[in-house]
């Protein structure tokens, strides 16, 4: 971790030791909390999870999303500009009238950056909606069969084609926030092996195809992050068993019809807490 962020976090986490030493010497000036900027899409913004952030209602951003969870755990000063529906283009351009480009939140004084992006760039979550089959086979069409016809997985090919754009995102973050430590937060476990049709309306081959595509996106995010000197935060592993097929109280990601306050196929409050905890742990360990 870069020196500035390491010192800020170490000071915050060792406040008790500083207090004990204060009886023997004058108390030092209080260290400023690390400055944390959160960038990304709806997986980060946790749309419809209460309470809603009133700063930009069009982004459907929650005040209980994973950046807020991580910031509280780290004692960080958060600027959260995540926005539902964002693509990497919206990091540099306005997503909505009056919504500033997300990169604008970065400054040379930024200590910590998290970014979750790529699901919308690659059309992955539109793909999920296109795979819904209420009825069992043969009454419908398999998206897995359609997307792999001819021997090439079209979804994975789109993800691979997008990878250089994500590398450019990390380069721009480094340019605007040169001393910041960057954490790339991946996507979670949406589908368990073979899914759970008809409880969730995705045939087993389609559930496996979709989770495979999500895993491939995570692999691309990890590889690009590591090549750029950023830290990849795995949310796939801790969300195993908390997918859309889990019992409602055990889900981190809601199903097609949510059972708790959250957008369909997005993290609920428990999911946001789990991701925020994973990010905070990665920051402390880096």
Q: Please pick, among 90, 197, 209, 266, the residue that the annotation labels catalytic.
A: 266
What is the per-residue pLDDT for 31?
81
Strands (E), the chain: 35-40, 77-80, 112-116, 181-185, 231-233
Region 159-178: mean pLDDT is: 98
- Whole-prediction pTM: 0.88
What is the per-residue pLDDT for 4?
43
Q: Please say if 266 is a catalytic residue.
A: yes
Q: Please pick, among 42, 62, 114, 239, the residue that the annotation labels catalytic.
A: 42
Q: Please say if 216 is a catalytic residue.
A: no
The whole-angstrom separation of Cα 32 and Cα 77 is: 9
Average pLDDT, rounded, for the chain: 91
**Alpha-carbon dihedral sign for residues 242, 247, 249, 254:** positive
Region 260-273: mean pLDDT is: 97
Q: Are 80 and 42 in contact (CB under 8 A)?
A: no
The whole-angstrom separation of Cα 94 and Cα 285 is: 34
Lowest-confidence range among 12-21, 155-164, 252-261, 270-279? 12-21
Q: CA torsion, points 277, 88, 262, 75, in degrees to nearest 10?
A: 30
pLDDT for 178 beyond 50 = yes
Q: Which two tokens stand for residue 215?
A: 């895993």
pLDDT for 118 beyond 90 = yes
Which residues are registered as beta bridge partners of 116?
A: 40
What is the per-residue pLDDT for 286?
87
Helix (H, G, I), strand (E, B) or coil at 105: helix
What is the per-residue pLDDT for 35?
98
DSSP 8-state assignment for residue 76: -
The whole-angstrom separation of Cα 223 and Cα 225 is: 5
Q: Are 258 and 268 in contact (CB under 8 A)?
A: yes
pLDDT digits (tens, 9 = 90+) for 124-142: 988 999 999 999 999 999 9
DSSP 8-state assignment for residue 253: B
**Percent of the chain surpassing pLDDT 70:** 90
The whole-angstrom separation of Cα 10 and Cα 273 is: 23
The whole-angstrom separation of Cα 187 and Cα 239 is: 10
The whole-angstrom separation of Cα 153 and Cα 128 is: 15
What is the per-residue pLDDT for 274?
98
Q: Which two tokens stand for residue 117?
A: 């992006």
What is the per-residue pLDDT for 30?
66
What is the per-residue pLDDT for 28?
56
**Which are the contacts of 49, defined by CB distance < 8 A and separation ≥ 6?**
62, 64, 65, 261, 262, 267, 268, 269, 272
**Which are the contacts of 240, defined by CB distance < 8 A and separation ≥ 6?**
189, 192
pLDDT digits (tens, 9 = 90+) for 4-37: 444 444 444 444 444 444 444 555 556 899 999 9
């Amino acid at each position: 971790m870069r020196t500035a962020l390491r010192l800020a976090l170490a000071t915050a986490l060792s406040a008790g030791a500083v207090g004990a030493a204060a009886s023997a010497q004058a108390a030092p000036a209080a260290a400023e909390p690390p400055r944390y900027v959160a960038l990304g899409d709806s997986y980060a913004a946790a749309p419809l999870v209460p309470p809603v952030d009133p700063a930009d209602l069009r982004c459907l951003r929650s005040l209980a999303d994973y950046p807020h969870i991580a910031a509280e755990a780290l004692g960080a000063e958060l600027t959260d500009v995540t926005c539902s529906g964002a693509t990497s283009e919206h990091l540099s351009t306005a997503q909505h009238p009056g919504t500033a480009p997300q990169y604008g939140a970065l400054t040379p004084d930024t200590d910590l950056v998290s970014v979750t992006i790529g699901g919308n760039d690659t059309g992955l979550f539109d793909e999920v909606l296109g795979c819904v089959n209420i009825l069992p086979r043969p009454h419908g069409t398999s998206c897995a069969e359609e997307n792999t016809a001819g021997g090439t997985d079209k979804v994975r090919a789109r993800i691979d084609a997008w990878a250089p754009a994500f590398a450019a995102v990390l380069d721009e973050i480094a340019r605007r926030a040169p001393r910041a430590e960057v954490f790339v937060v991946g996507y979670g476990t949406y589908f368990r092996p073979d899914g759970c049709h008809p409880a969730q309306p995705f045939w087993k081959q389609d559930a496996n195809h979709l989770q495979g595509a999500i895993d491939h996106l995570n692999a691309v995010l990890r590889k690009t992050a590591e090549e750029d000197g950023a830290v990849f935060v795995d949310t796939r592993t801790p969300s195993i068993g908390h997918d859309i097929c889990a019992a409602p109280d055990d889900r981190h990601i809601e199903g097609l019809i949510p059972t708790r306050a959250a957008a369909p196929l997005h993290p609920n409050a428990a999911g946001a807490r789990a991701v925020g905890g994973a990010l905070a742990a990665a920051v402390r360990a880096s």
